[in-house]
A and B are shown apart, each in its own frame.
Chain A
């Protein structure tokens, strides 16, 4: 990714050629990306792809073997204190002191993040409001449900109004209702802060994120907007059902068809070369030749399929 000097102002976070070795294994390899001001970036990848390792490096919890990270223009290795004050981080295993109450814990979080002592109460109240924790103030964190504990985790990440909020798998282990609520919360947070959201759930990225990058085996295999990802799913494919199918050669002879795949129950996946989809021609020919056409529709690849395709390709 080429970055010119002007674009630096809008990048709240920049990671350049980030690599991390564990022994001889590359957990993360030459990862370069940036985060724009006020966007939600989805960091997608299967389990063990290097998401959490990257997050840990971005937040100063793990030193990169190679590469640099700049948070709001500040190098996190050279000036960790200043860089970290711009970040709010919720790791995958939420770091909560369960023996404390919500208020006590958030007060400590505010103090640790240099919130002015006069503003601590206000900051705690604001964070609780945003995360819907208002009525839980005096409860011990230990006694809260999973979903509410997660909210406390998010509240501690935003208590000091950081420029960047990094959330590592924030919806793991929650029930569907809680997941919806947390996603809504993340969307709200994205209005004020730049957010990096790591997940292995594709629809989550689709619902919440503005931009997405996919990591697999430690390398980035895709980055672009959600629309770019959606584009991939359309593709130039038709799903055609024929009850008396001819030999595939005959279908291949139709103008524009590049490949015919046989799917079960008389279904064929027809790949098209060009932008023009010769649906009409296929219908006409199959009626003329009596192939027994009973289904014709664009073949939409699910996002999961794209994900699988992207992550199973060997990165170059």
Chain B
């Protein structure tokens, strides 16, 4: 049933121009970052840089693209999550889901999965795009896989947070603004506290836990952090929908 909900979400996202526009803009953005990165690599590396500080093409281009992905996803995910529940609330289509033999957990997980599949297209796209470097260089696939995995977890967390904010209101745009502010604030705060690596905020900061992935390292504590983050917000969303049923 979760799959059926996810299919419905994908169908509706592709039935509107919104899905296609976001997909094409992001793909365009990543493509541009990629070609820009390759271009810069030769300029920087052929210059006066000391041999000890030279990095491989995978890391150089990868950093450019994945760095941009982190930022672009912060902007794009709220635009995708905003409609998930609040639009159904506004169009009064939630009873369609609630009166079908589907549990609230299945509804929320299905919606989450649908979005993850949509965003997964982008993550796979970036991976394939960077893999093309392998045609003329010997690239580090471990680095790419680590980054892809991390990016997937990161957008998963963005999505879970966004779905929760979407369940709070019947105005999609408010849901988008709220989740964008939350994500943006987290980014700003982690830069603010960057000078103090032992500050408690680093334990709850998404960006901080994402750092190891950007080096191509998969740290189990970071993986668990992201999974917990996702689980927390999805549970809160389920609770929020359940309170609709209880309090009317």
The yes or no answer to A268 lying at the interface (CB within 8 A) is no
Q: What is the CB-to-nearest-CB distance from A162 to chain B, in angstroms, rounded to a whole number?
A: 10
Q: Which residues of B contact A99 (CB under 8 A)?
A: 12, 15-16
Interchain CB contact under 8 A, A112 and B100:
yes
Measured between C-beta atoms, what is the minimum distance from B86 to chain A in Å? Answer: 15
Q: In the complex the two chains form, is B246's CB within 8 Å of A91's CB?
A: no
Chain B hits for A61, CB < 8 A: 95, 98-99, 245
Q: Is A180 an interface residue (CB 8 A)?
A: no
B212 interface residue (CB < 8 Å to A): no
A285 within 8 A of B: no
CB of A114 closer than 8 Å to a CB of B: yes
By a CB distance below 8 angstroms, the chain B residues around A109 are 96, 100
A104 near B99: Cβ-Cβ < 8 Å: no
Q: Decide: A91 and B92 in contact? CB cutoff 8 A.
A: yes
Residues of A within 8 A of B92 (CB): 91, 93, 95
What number of B residues sit within 8 Å (CB to CB) of A?
Answer: 25
Task: Give every chain A residue within 8 A of B98 (Cβ-Cβ).
Answer: 59-61
A151 CB-CB contact with B under 8 Å: no
* CB-CB nearest in chain A for B4: A111
Q: In whole angstroms, how far apart are the Cα atoms of A87 and B102 in the complex?
A: 13
Please state if A112 and B248 are interface contacts (CB–CB under 8 Å).
Answer: no
- Please name all residues of chain B whose beta carbon is closer than 8 Å to the beta carbon of A62 when the two chains form the complex: 245, 248
A284 CB–B CB distance under 8 Å: no
Q: Does A308 contact B (CB under 8 A)?
A: no
Residues of A within 8 A of B54 (CB): none
Check if B131 is an interface residue, CB within 8 A of chain A.
no
Complex alpha-carbon distance, A109 and B103, angstroms:
15
> Contact at A22–B100, with CB atoms within 8 Å?
no
Q: In the bound complex, what is the Cα–Cα distance between A113 and B103 (angstroms)?
A: 12
CA distance A7 to B98 in the complex (A): 30
B242, closest chain A residue (CB): A63
Asked whether A95 lies within 8 Å of B95 as measured between CB atoms, the reply is: yes
In the bound complex, residues from chain B placing their C-beta under 8 Å from that of A114 are 1, 101
- How far is B90's CA from A93's CA once the two chains are assembled, in angstroms? 11
Residues of chain B within 8 A (CB-CB) of A108 are 4, 7-8, 11
A100 at the interface (CB under 8 A from B): yes
**A100 vs B8: C-alpha distance when bound (angstroms):** 10
Bitwise interface map of A from 58 to 93 toward B, beta carbon under 8 Å scored 1, else 0: 011111000000000000000011101101010101
A112 in contact with B95 (CB, 8 Å) = no
**Residues 230 to 248 of chain B near chain A (Cβ within 8 Å):** 245-246, 248
> B33-66 interface mask toward A, CB cutoff 8 Å, 1 = contact, 0 = none?
0000000000000000000000000000000000
**Complex CA–CA separation, A269 to B245 (angstroms):** 51
Question: In this assembly, does A96 line the interface, its C-beta being within 8 Å of a C-beta of chain B?
Answer: yes
Residue contact B93 to A95, C-beta cutoff 8 Å = yes
Residue of A nearest to B5 (CB): A112
B93 and A100 contacting across the interface, CB-CB below 8 Å: no
Nearest-neighbour CB distance to chain A for B28, whole angstroms, equals: 24
CB distance from A253 to the nearest CB of B (A): 58
**What residues on A are CB-neighbors of B16 within 8 Å?**
99
Q: Inside 8 A of A98's CB, which chain B residues have their CB?
A: 91
Least Cβ distance of B1 to chain A in Å? 8
Verify if A20 is at the interface (C-beta below 8 Å from B). yes
Give the A-binding residues of B (Cβ under 8 A). Answer: 1, 4-5, 7-8, 11-12, 15-16, 91-103, 245-246, 248
Known A95-B91, A111-B4; further 15 A-B contacts with Cβ < 8 A? A61-B98, A61-B245, A63-B246, A82-B101, A89-B95, A91-B99, A95-B94, A95-B95, A96-B93, A96-B96, A100-B12, A104-B15, A109-B100, A111-B8, A156-B96
Task: List residues of chain A with CB under 8 Å of any chain B CB.
Answer: 20, 22, 53, 56, 59-63, 80-82, 84-85, 87, 89, 91, 93, 95-100, 104, 108-109, 111-114, 156
A–B Cβ pairs within 8 angstroms, 30 of them: A56-B248, A59-B99, A61-B95, A61-B99, A61-B245, A63-B245, A81-B103, A89-B95, A89-B99, A91-B92, A91-B95, A95-B91, A95-B92, A95-B94, A97-B93, A99-B12, A99-B16, A100-B12, A104-B15, A108-B4, A108-B7, A111-B4, A111-B8, A112-B1, A112-B5, A112-B8, A112-B101, A113-B100, A114-B101, A156-B96
Which 9 A/B pairs are nearest by Cβ-Cβ distance?
A95-B96, A95-B93, A93-B92, A112-B100, A85-B101, A89-B99, A59-B99, A84-B101, A99-B15
